[in-house]
Chains A and B, each alone.
Chain A
Amino acid sequence: MTELKAEVGTLSFRNPLLLASGIWGESGRSLLGAYEAGAGGVVSKSIGAEPRAGYPNPTVEQYGQWGFLNAMGLPNPGIAAYPEEIRIARQGGAPVVGSIFAPTAEGFAELATAMEPTGVCAIELNLSCPHAKGLGSEIGQDPALVAEVTKAVRKATKLPVWVKLTPNVADIALLAEAAERAGADAITAINTVRGLAIDPILRRPVLANGLGGLSGPAIKPIGLACVWQIFERVKIPIVGVGGIRSGRDVLEYILAGARAVQLGTAVATDTVRVFSRISAELEKELSSLGTTSLSELVGAAHAGRDQA
């Protein structure tokens, strides 16, 4: 029997396929739906201190068969209303990672404190959000801010802290190192890749926010490269995200260094049945490689490169 169980630090998931933050994450019933469809666990929508409506539409634009651009504007029900949604997902047995965002380190710490008693198994920090003092740049682009936020949350909670990084930087591993030094338990990589859609007839950007973030098949090689670089520079576990649609994609992320992965866009393009399909594909991939365990493959491509 192949073993799809995945371990991220002290946490264990029934399989390595987690639902990514922001997909099916506003309602607890939807989170549970992803778990019932075969996800190993689910990450909540990124939750802030107050309810936020997000940007006006258009918030999503399709990029051919390659992916979607989105600029949702972090809509979320706020930390006061959200525990009820987590309760619904937990009641159905789903392991929930609570994603949070704030403009300051103190804000992150307060949200982590509020998240802890809701029954989440870990906290994920969405650092792709503007800093209170920042000039349009995101917290996740500055190693000092990443360290400050991670340290504050580390102090505020006993739960494992996952730091989710943006690929929109020169050297993502530098930010992973900053997070590791500040006490992060895992790195999640990557968030969406900055992108833009312009309509030539209208001569204007399509998304209401102008710039957006690209997700889906187009960003798989970018995500893989990020996981690869992070694996070479930090020891803490990595959760790979970006463009995963098949068991083969998951295998590639694991060989690059991920211990688990998250799926976002594929839930829309391939329907939520993507979780059970990929699980089946992954079992086949493993047996054709003559191995029964995922964990022995984590980062194995790095050794392969040294020998080559």
Chain B
Amino acid sequence: MNASPWDSGLREVCTVVAREQETPSTVTLRFEYSKEAHPGQFVMVWLPGDDELPMSLSYTGREKGVTVKAMGDTSRRILSAGPGTKIGIRGPYGNRFDLSPQHILVVGGGSGTAVLAPAAEEAHGQGAEVTFALGATTAREMLFADRLRPVAKAVHLATDDGSAGHHGYVTAVADRLISEGGFDAVWTCGPEVMMRKVLAAGERASVPVFGSVERQMKCSLGLCDACALGPYHVCIDGPVFPGHVLRGLEEFGRSKRDPSGRLVPV
């Protein structure tokens, strides 16, 4: 059951307390924001005088954080905010990962690992065994491998250029791990083509997969339809969806809506 937007909608002005360059392309901003949040949820981050973007929480405790790859000019400007910068935060919005599985495989591609990290840490804290398959273009772009080692049963890496771990896509690693068995859930976030492959592997092995999906957001309240994905609204029904739902969606991995509402390729 989702909470009513009345609960999380009030915006707060927060101060950035730390800015961390995680990889050459990925930055973490930490800020004090007291509202309770759960792994999987996202906040709307506003750089005053500039744009506001949805960002999944990479840290869900009292000192919250977002870890994002600068995709366009707007995110680049937001991510340049150094300590002391005032930013507007509202949320958290959306659903969360179900933390009850006991043997979890986490498959993260690029900055997709950001939303998976707090979920994995919390599941581990509750006694789950967590295995990681993390992918990146190159070793220096590998996100959170060091952060996650303390909670990992094992960490498997894959890079496109072979500079760390398996030379190739992380989906090959995930495929092998899933087919070897032993998992009661797979969590994934990353490029949608990657997630589609993980979904297929999970289906072959009859392991439930949960994927965190990204779409543009405007209201993040279930009003404006900017985040429409099939019959769902990512801001209120997601961002975490069961694999069987995602597999049934024509648009997933193929198209998304642009700011005018037109369908364009992902």
Contacts and interface: CB of A to CB of B under 8 A. Distances in A.
B157 to A, nearest CB: 35
A77 B262 contact: yes
Given A26-B226, A57-B52, A268-B223, A52 B11 contact: no
Contact of B10 (A56, A60, A62, A270): A62
B35 to A, nearest CB: 13
B230 interface: yes
Interface string B4-25: 1110011101000000000000
- Give the interface size class of chain B: 35 or more
Given A76-B260, A199-B13, A202-B48, A267 B228 contact: no
Contacts of A62: 5-6, 9-11, 90, 221
A51 interface: yes
Interface string B78-93: 0000000010101000
Nearest to A81: B262
A246 interface: no
Interface in B230-265: 230-231, 233, 236, 257-262
A59 B259 CA distance: 12
A61 B261 contact: no
Contact of B257 (A27, A61, A270): A27
Nearest to B262: A77
A24 interface: yes
Judged by DSSP, the binding face of A is loop
Interface residues of A, number: 46
A78 B225 CA distance: 15
Interface string A4-44: 00000000000000000011111101101100000000000
Interface in A247-273: 264-265, 267-272
B261 A268 contact: no
Interface string A280-308: 00000000000000000000000000000
Contacts of A57: 44, 46, 51-53, 218
B218 A199 contact: no
B223 A58 contact: no
Interface stretch (A67-75, A110-118, A163-171, A178-186): A67-75
A199 B219 contact: no
Q: Find the residue from B10, B218, B223, B262 having the highest chain A CB count within 10 A.
A: B223
Contact of B231 (A29, A56, A70, A202): A29
B222 interface: yes
A274 B237 CA distance: 16
A53 interface: yes
B1 to A, nearest CB: 10
Contact of B86 (A45, A202, A271): A202
Interface string A131-145: 000000000000000
A32 B228 CA distance: 12
A65 B6 contact: yes
A45 B52 CA distance: 22
A1 interface: no
Contact of B224 (A22, A65, A77, A201): A22
Nearest to A50: B260
- Name the 4 nearest CB pairs between A and B, nearest first: A26-B261, A57-B52, A62-B9, A53-B259
Interface of B: 2, 4-6, 9-11, 13, 44, 46, 48-53, 86, 88, 90, 218-226, 228, 230-231, 233, 236, 257-262
24 contacts: A23-B224, A24-B228, A25-B225, A27-B261, A30-B225, A30-B231, A51-B261, A52-B260, A56-B50, A56-B51, A57-B53, A58-B88, A59-B218, A60-B224, A62-B5, A62-B9, A62-B10, A62-B221, A76-B260, A78-B262, A204-B48, A267-B223, A269-B4, A269-B6
